A and B are shown apart, each in its own frame.
Chain A
């Protein structure tokens, strides 16, 4: 305390004053923009529902990917930056199976079986590749300082990207159209795209299954024990390596399923497709509180909805031109905002307990 000079105190005041100003400014823009937009009445309520549904479907995909980040972080305290690429491998796996099934006419006859088998196949591919990555790139570095596996993860990410580029070229593939999913369903009198409903339902179902596995099975109990304390868990007779591999495989399976759902909506598969969703899902995991499974789900949905609704709701009416270019800015500003108010994320535990 002796060293806290007057100048340093002034600097501290200036910084915290700036941060408060920032919080107030953002909240003002959001409130004012929302008010002006609703008063202007440019969009019909159907269009608002479209925005929200779009956001939930995108958000549930973010959530599925975010689960992998958060589970691996929970167990190893490491950011698996190759996770976005695991998502990409799943999308490719699903693409090849779906294209083949469409080609032989199976997809048109039994769309439900075709769709589910595409998801299962994608989950399998993703899980296998994630286990391989864990074995080759992370396990040998288990005892190393934290930055070492992080760098290794970035390397694995590049390796996967450019391997896929080498095999399948730099271009993109159009995902086959599942005819049964064309068109709308009327939900409470509102027409909503079938494919978005399917994606949301499938994603919620996957998350429920995962939550059940983690909370109510023996395996899940072991995972939570390893996450709490690896050494004690090992003393209790838990095979720590097996649990870690299972965690990677489960997280990757979620990402693989997300890959298929993502390509159902956006109908494109390419080697670089994992990068942006990967970063966004990581943001979602931090937003929800990294290491926390329900947090990843909430974070993903919040991020998706903000991105989708934000530009029309509070940017357009405050006079910002071409608001959709700022979609990513909204996502990251919201991240900063939430971390300013709750440094451990929406559902995160207090940092002090972990440290």
Chain B
């Protein structure tokens, strides 16, 4: 018995040694990962995994869905493949809140197969989730965050893995202030924000620029993001006597303000304006008839290079309608920047295995220069700003949500009026 067992064991040991030797030979030639943040290994039969995180549900769902479509079209234009591997896109709903961003980031950071990310939609989501992603060695490019400090040179090490193709609101707030002061010739303005990272910073930029030009900010109010009864806050605004009311908030609160502002004594005919957070047909649905004649700032689609028109055609054919919001093109560019950088740093083995060194990928994205995108020629700064900001002011000419089509050349709604 014992002898037989011994024989069996020795055969097994011998066999495993032989197998180990056979298996070991190619292993010696394998790429040794020396990257500071480690490498993502994609086996020959595995897809290259990228992720999109942003708001996909709730009142602001269109904002994130619009960007997601940009990512999908970009992947389609790459043929759905990278180095012969399928590209896998997973999405995570970040709910347009800091908590939602933190949850989404934690979930994505736990998935070690992810190579790079596109997102988030709302600046709040980034505030909540960026540290988790950066510390997991990941890099994300946001097509849609506009809060200025996100790409401030003093933004801190938590933001090392964060870049954006969207404009900073330093540009957007200034454009609105110039429009109000120089074109509408108003001198007294009021702002309302909803406490979000986006709205709070944007109305402040506007207020600072407007004051610097010589105007007066007569009231700066704020509401909760889920507030519905705007009568009291608008009465307070009205008591200050503004000629121009700027509320760069999101769809829900923006809709309630627009729907109720004309009922408040003193604000019946005052000029009203919002920004890219409500540049969507959903806002017309929420705000109703009062949105007609309202001003909205947004990236200037008319100044996007030629590739944009082709993109819109593809988009409208694929999804059966005009883009939902403003950042689809920025998402398309962000995705292409990610894959261009990936192309540069990915190490491809003879058997098809891909190694992606994470720090090298991050560096390659930051090194992006003269990138011919559909939002302009892009270059990333050391603090993560890749966008080529061109802001325009649009006017809503028809409050019917079905008539929303700012990209239309013959009959655009909203229509660009400045500059």
Contacts and interface: CB of A to CB of B under 8 A. Distances in A.
A11 interface: no
A140 B232 CA distance: 45
Most chain-B Cβ atoms within 10 A of its Cβ — which of A47, A58, A171, A308?
A171
Interface residues of A, number: 39
B397 interface: no
B232 A268 contact: no
Most chain-A Cβ atoms within 10 A of its Cβ — which of B229, B232, B259, B289?
B232
Contacts of B40: none
Give the secondary structure class of B's interface. helix
Contact of B256 (A54, A170, A266): A266
B4 to A, nearest CB: 62
Interface in B2-51: none
A170 B223 contact: no
Give the secondary structure class of A's interface. helix
Interface stretch (A79-87, A202-210, A215-223, A323-331): A323-331
A174 interface: yes
A311 B285 contact: no
Interface in A180-239: 191, 193
Contacts of A328: 224
A106 to B, nearest CB: 19
Contacts of B226: 276
Interface string B78-104: 000000000000000000000000000
A270 B59 contact: yes
B227 A193 contact: no
B61 A266 contact: no
Interface string B211-235: 0000000001111101111011101
A266 B232 contact: no
Interface string B227-254: 1110111011011000000000001100
B298 interface: no
B288 interface: yes
A44 B266 CA distance: 12
A272 B225 CA distance: 13
A316 interface: yes
Nearest to B281: A171
Contacts of B239: 42-44, 47
B382 interface: no
B265 A325 contact: no
B241 to A, nearest CB: 11
User: Contact residue range for chain B?
Assistant: 35 or more
B260 interface: yes
Nearest to A266: B228
A69 to B, nearest CB: 19
A71 B228 CA distance: 26
A172 B255 contact: yes
Contacts, number: 109
A308 B231 contact: yes
Given A47-B239, A54-B231, A325 B282 contact: no
Nearest to B287: A174
Given A322-B221, A324-B223, A171 B62 contact: yes
Interface string B341-384: 00000000000000000000000000000000000000000000
A173 B287 CA distance: 9
Given A172-B252, A308-B232, A325 B222 contact: yes
Contacts of B282: 171-172
Contacts of B259: 174, 266-268
Given A270-B59, A322-B221, A324-B221, A171 B228 contact: no
B412 interface: no
B76 interface: no
A47 B238 contact: yes
A278 to B, nearest CB: 12
Contacts of A312: 232, 235-236
B288 A46 contact: no
A173 B284 CA distance: 9
Contact of B222 (A51, A266, A316, A322): A322
B401 to A, nearest CB: 8
A268 B255 contact: yes
B58 interface: yes
Nearest to B251: A172
A47 B59 contact: no
Most chain-B Cβ atoms within 10 A of its Cβ — which of A43, A267, A307, A309?
A267
A57 B368 CA distance: 56
A266 B58 CA distance: 18
Contact of A276 (B58, B228, B251, B264): B228
Contacts of B238: 47
A344 to B, nearest CB: 28
Contact of B285 (A50, A55, A173, A277): A173
A322 to B, nearest CB: 4
A328 B227 CA distance: 9
B285 A308 contact: no
B224 A170 contact: no
B263 interface: yes
19 contacts: A46-B265, A50-B231, A50-B235, A51-B231, A54-B231, A165-B57, A172-B282, A174-B286, A177-B289, A268-B228, A268-B252, A268-B259, A276-B228, A307-B232, A308-B229, A311-B233, A322-B221, A324-B232, A327-B223
Lowest 7 CB-CB distances: which A-B pairs, in order?
Answer: A322-B222, A54-B231, A174-B288, A324-B233, A267-B259, A170-B61, A325-B222
Given A46-B265, A54-B232, A327-B232, 4 more contacts: A50-B264, A171-B62, A266-B229, A272-B59
